[in-house]
Amino acid sequence: MRVLQINSVCGIGSTGRIATDIHAVLKEQDYQSYIAYGRDTPMNCDKAIRIGTKLDNYLHVAKTRILDMHGFGSKKATKDFIERIKKINPDVIHLHNIHGYFINIEILFEYLKEANLPVVWTLHDCWAFTAHCAYFEYSGCDCWKLEGENKCIQKRSYPGSLLVNNSKNNFKRKKKAFTGVENLIIITPSEWLANLVKKSFLREYPVEVINNGIDLNVFKPTGSHFRKNNKLENKFIILGVASTWDKRKGLNYFIELSNSIKNDEVIVLVGLSEKQKDNLPKNIIGITRTNNVKELVEIYSSADVFVNPTIEDNFPTTNLEALASGTPVITFDTGGSAESLDEHCGFKVEKGNTNELLLKIKKIKENNKAAYKIPCVNRARNLYDKTDRFKEYVNLYLDNRR
C-alpha cells in the first residue's frame, strides 16, 4: 500500500507532526509513505516532496492579501505536483491542511475527481467549508452557512486580506471544487467539528472522528528543577500553553485572572512573544515558545493546574499533554476543547466566565493536584496514545484503498 499525505508543513507544528507520526506508523508496518508539503523545512520524513518554491508561496500570499483569493494561486506548482502524484501512483491520498499558500484547490480537486482515488481528508479547522475564515463561532461569522449570504466579517483573519473581500465568490468556488468526489471520507478530531461539517456543504461525505494523539513516552509525569530555578517552590502554579497567544487563545482572560489570584498563586504562560512578555503583570511569568519538548514536559509536570481559556478550538493537544503529565485541566466549554475531559481530571467552564474559572481553580487547589494525577494520566493512556490513534488511520486506508 502506498499512501500520500498532503499538508502545508511537514514535521513541524501540530498538523505537521500528525502527518509525520502517521508516516512513522506506516513505515513500521512496511507500507510506502510520502508526505507532500508547501513551506518551511521538512522534519522526520525521508520521502518529503516540496510543492512549489518559496517564490510560489510569496505570490500566493500576495494574491491572498490583495485579492482575497486564498487557495486559488500556485497553478503551475499544483500542475507540476500532480505529475509527481501520477508517478507515485498512491493507493490512498490523505489531505490535511490544504490552506497555507501552497496549492491550487480547484486544480487539485479536479485531478482527484478524474483519478477517482480514495481520499481521506482530515479537517484541523473550519476553513474547508467557509467563505474565508478558519474559525467563526467566537466572532459570530455565518459565512459558512448554506442559507446565508456567505460574506465573511473577518477578512483580516487568517488567511488575511488587506484590501478586497472576495468571500462570496470564494464560497461558491470552494463548494464547487470540494463537492462531488466519489470516494472521499472526512475525519475530524472532535465531535464539535464533525457536527459542523454535517451542516455544511461537505455534508454529502461520510464523517468520522479520530481524536488527536500524543507521544506518551515523552509526555508523562516528570521531575525537574523548574520550580526551584524560577523561585516557585511555595507557589500554586496556574499554567497556560499556546503556540501563539492571541484573542482566540484567551490571553486576555489570564490578564483578568492575574487581578484576582492570591499571593501564593502565580500564572505561567508558555508561547508568548517578547513584546507580550514585556507587558505582563508581575504575577505572570512569561516564557517564549519552546521547541524543547523535555522542557515543556517539565513545565506541565510542575504546574498545579492547566487552564485553557480558548474561545474556539478543534481538539487542542495542549489539554492532552497536560493530562498525560498528570496535571488537571480547566477549559472553557468551547469548540471541542472540553471533549478531552471527564469529571475526574478537570472541569469545563462557561465561555468567558472568569468568576467560575477562579472557583474551579480554587477547588483544585483545595483538593490538591495529587487527587487528580492518576485519573489524568490514565485517561491520556487509555484514549490519547498517538500510536493507537494513528493506527486508526492505517485501518481506514486499508478499508478504502484502491
CB 381 within 8 A of CB 345: no
Beta-bridge partners for 207: 186
Residue 32's Cβ-side half-sphere holds a number of Cα atoms within 13 Å equal to 10
9-59 pLDDT tens trace: 999 888 998 999 999 999 999 999 999 999 999 998 998 999 999 999 999
**Residues 6 or more apart in contact with residue 177 via CB below 8 angstroms:** 105, 106, 109, 110
pLDDT at 372: 97
Mean pLDDT for all residues in the chain:
95
pLDDT at 292: 82
Residue 395 or 293, more confident = 395
The Cβ of residue 304 has, within 10 Å, a number of other Cβ atoms equal to 19
pLDDT reading at 365 higher than 80: yes
pLDDT at 293: 86
pLDDT reading at 291 higher than 80: no
What average pLDDT does this structure show over 152-176?
96
229-240 pLDDT tens trace: 999 999 999 999
Kindly indicate the confidence band of residue 160, based on its pLDDT and cuts at 50, 70 and 90: very high
pLDDT at 289: 79
pLDDT reading at 401 higher than 90: no
Structural domains in the chain, sorted by start: 2-213+386-400 (3.40.50.2000), 226-383 (3.40.50.2000)
Weakest mean pLDDT among 249-258, 287-296, 316-325, 383-392: 287-296
pLDDT reading at 243 higher than 90: no
Residue 184 or 12, more confident = 184
- Residue reference for cell 475527481: 113
Indicate the Cα dihedral angle 371, 376, 378, 384, nearest 10°.
180
CA 33, 37, 40 angle in degrees (round to 5)?
A: 130
138-154 pLDDT tens trace: 899 999 999 989 999 99
213-224 pLDDT tens trace: 999 999 999 999
3-state SS record for the chain = CEEEEEECCCCCHHHHHHHHHHHHHHHHCCCEEEEEECCCCCCCCCCEEECCCHHHHHHHHHHHHHHCCCCCCCHHHHHHHHHHHHHHCCCEEEECCCCCCCCCHHHHHHHHHHHCCCEEEECCCCHHHCCCCCCCHHHCCCCCCCCCCCCCCCCCCCCCCCCCCCHHHHHHHHHHHHCCCCCEEEEECCHHHHHHHCCCCCCCCCEEECCCCECCCCCCCCCCCHHHHCCCCCCEEEEEECCCCCCCCCHHHHHHHHCCCCCCEEEEEEEECHHHHHCCCCCEEEEECCCCHHHHHHHHHHCCEEEECCCCCCCCHHHHHHHHCCCCEEEECCCCHHHHCCCCCEEEECCCCHHHHHHHHHHHHHHCCHHHHHHHHHHHHHHCEHHHHHHHHHHHHHHHCC
CB 217 within 8 A of CB 324: no
